[in-house]
Structure 1
């Protein structure tokens, strides 16, 4: 009896549940009607077939777009395809913004057609059956019902059936409602900071549009749009849409894709812009309570330099605690160094701040040729992490005027990163007559029927030069790299070497040499001259060794190398960082290098001093190679294409240019009378010069991180 009661109860529950399901199914079928249409009922090898889902919804009901927004779930199409067939993603018209009780969704209503493109394989045998299942959520303001519709298509290799004209008309109408790519003259870019950002869309047509009627629908559910806070700048003709990242997402998407809709647009616009070239870890709260930081290619360098500045602040504070007339100055230096270090290393600093809102693409021959073939304007930045001049040049890209000009002229930005060895990048540099970085070249939009002519920018980049080149489309007046006059080339090499003394790479060595001349003031004039010559010999021999190794590896072993090749070797960068770190410790007084030992005669002391000048010459050469002063790009590029003897003469001229200030001080010791007199300040100056050395070590560690 009990068992019979159980069976009756189960039968009753099953019957009731089945009735409810049937009732629900009947209800959804009354709310939506789907007709499957296609542009052909027969197929040939490699042919494409457009399939449409003509949807008709009852009034007050809707389904959701590919991204549902804050409620519902997306509409999807699952295919069951024969072997070799390929189906593209389901394509939607622009949705409308559905708002209910403070939540927003992206929905479709009334009548519309969804599209999918199928591609046949190379070989087709007989009849082909294709199956699909469409899933959606049908909703109104009070109810949501899941919906599933399965269908099949029978296609024949050879058939006599005809496609109804109304089907072709529906498909054409649906294609005309699909979002289109950005029209010519319209530019879009995305910026971010922390967990929020902006989409910027620049178009002169927006001036007559009501900004409140714009809607942007992202394809990625992780991107949340603030639909109530868009703005339009009449000055820059730019629409700004604010967005945030969903709380459950830890990484930025590589690109931000979506659809821009406005009633006055004939067709909505599909926008796809890179957010960040590398996946950036965002500041997320982990279970342990630690906060992550935005990682960027410069963040490690910021942290290392911050540590150097904080260490300098501690050193300056220690100096201020000693009885000294300049104690207040030391305190000021300590506060400034500490504040700058904390600001530089603050973990919430945006990783994109340096490049502003500009979007860069990795350079390749294929991409460059493709853009040039399409008549696009392109700008190529040949750079490397170990090239200090390259990093200094990047300050230009953060200036608003430069960004606006590049965006206004639709310039495609390509970055050729030569941190690691790259035969393609070296070959491209050599095609322009260059052998090293930095090097910047601009290809303006060519006139019809003409090829784009490259315009070379100076090695030391300024915003005025870049703006002039992009706006004017012509070269800046500068020294030509095509001069065949060998004497002119030697003059350029000497001038470039002389200007190297003003570059940040050589700054630590300048201070130490000045300190050396102050120490030598009042000594025998012949000794001072010898110090100048020994320093020059150290510079010249170092250049000869570098050039000799480069020519031997290139010509003898046929390796693809360019100027600065040694900094593309991790072991060299590591050894150089260790040597400079030890040198910095010596300047800080941890131990002494090159000083005479108590009890040893003056001759050994003088000999040690000459060795110190020779070592300074070597050090000046080593730290100068990552910098490329004006005129050196032309000289180095030409020299490395010449016979060995001519090449050595050019690099000797560079070395003499680098040594010229010290030779002049050696031959005209009266000039040193304008330098401060020797005293206790020299020890403080020596210790201070250790910190630029430590900063150089930080830069080398950052470079090493990019090499391994």
Structure 2
């Protein structure tokens, strides 16, 4: 029996020398030869075969938003030359908010080997030291030493029949050279790629068209690439990468049309105003369609986020106003209760829709902004301080602006009461803008990437969720019996509820001071004194002189906001080289370049995107991030802490938010060494952060 084993070994041994697969974690790699022997001086083809497991992928030479391309180092007989890898056409691989470029199935990377004119040995020995990255939700680096020994023959080698189909299939996937002129123009809002359309390039409406540059720092891969054709030219609008620094003279890339790839070598230049004026108009509002189920899911997240927004600390002062309203309306007619609930709901929903409209309009104009953008304006912050302080003074009894504004009292007409409920909803949305509730970030990030109609629907659902508790109480009278009956206690409760408003105004003054410095904060305090004087003059019995004094003091108060000191002058941490320290842990300023450098060095990084006006951010830092046990994990695991301050506008931070489908802060990202970002929840606890940061 052993005799047959030896016979089988002698038959299979030559074949084994031609095929040496290596099984690694979630991938099989192999070095193949298209020929069964080698002739001196005659080039031949080999191929690096990579076959990842189902739902895993490898990368093209430009991996896209993350990842790394396979690399190979050769050990060959003396005088032998190995050519570059010929890359088959990749495809887009969406992974969460990112888009990678690569292969999610078996791929063969062909390379031409050129042996010298004479070979001293009768055996041609090759060794390929291959390294790769294979990814799913996580990425696993790997490497292998692949050896292949081929006999040397005096005759032209024959092709190995086992691999003929694989090499033929790969050649069919290699991009064709597009024999036509092309030009890449840099503009203020990205790039415009123009290509003369050749005959073999048939373009039809609805075709999938993508441009993949070889340079990884040129464009954003996850954004849409709207295109148009006119007068024999194809024009593609491209968004620049946040890592783009300097325009090169030319770029290599692929044009992918319905899975068919064409190779381009494109000169690049900065577009002149005259050239821009001649560009073919492109509808840049077109975005890739997403499944209807996704929209329903996002709508549900928006609704849930709005509902949870009522529990955020920045909304608590306005909840006091609604509490007073509920106490009074608990004894009114059912129809009145429902109208108050509907008025409040309309105020909330319309406010969200209005903010969405402004945000979308500014983004369409090229502005890098997101949720809470209005709080990046010192003037808006100052006006909000005035409003909250004035409402607090009213609750304290200094003056009466109309009890319907507070949602209590029945001395005014029904119309005034409903108007009061409406504006209570408006105020609730204004003071809610510093907060981002759970689920809300995902919904808003999705909304700002969609069409205007879809975005407005999502914002409206967010508002409906926020208004739901008050609306339910107004439509279910039975629940109102749990509220106390009106009485003298209401006046005391009303005055007590003024203090959360004063506290909120104080916090916003601190935010203002961080934005514009002590001079701006002092000017705002002076404006509050004048506002208080104006309200005192108009309270009680008024005569002509008190009315004149009221107008003068009010105008002077508003005039304080026109002073130059309300222009942002503070230096954000993200724009400076300063380093803060908390419990011995250095907190460095975030920048895209700093993050990329640390990731290239395979170092773990934690990124905290925050703002002084974001209460959720400040609470998370005090409750979780600044705790000694959390800081100790940073030290023990060598994690670099980067902090991006979005208090004032910062386009680099906005781009990072957009990359993770978020439109506002907070955003917490943890990059384990060599891995993609893990997005932490928006509400943090020490245990949650510790579990996320501990290296696996």
TM norm structure 2: 0.34
Larger Rg: 1
TM-score of the two chains, using structure 1 as the length reference: 0.33
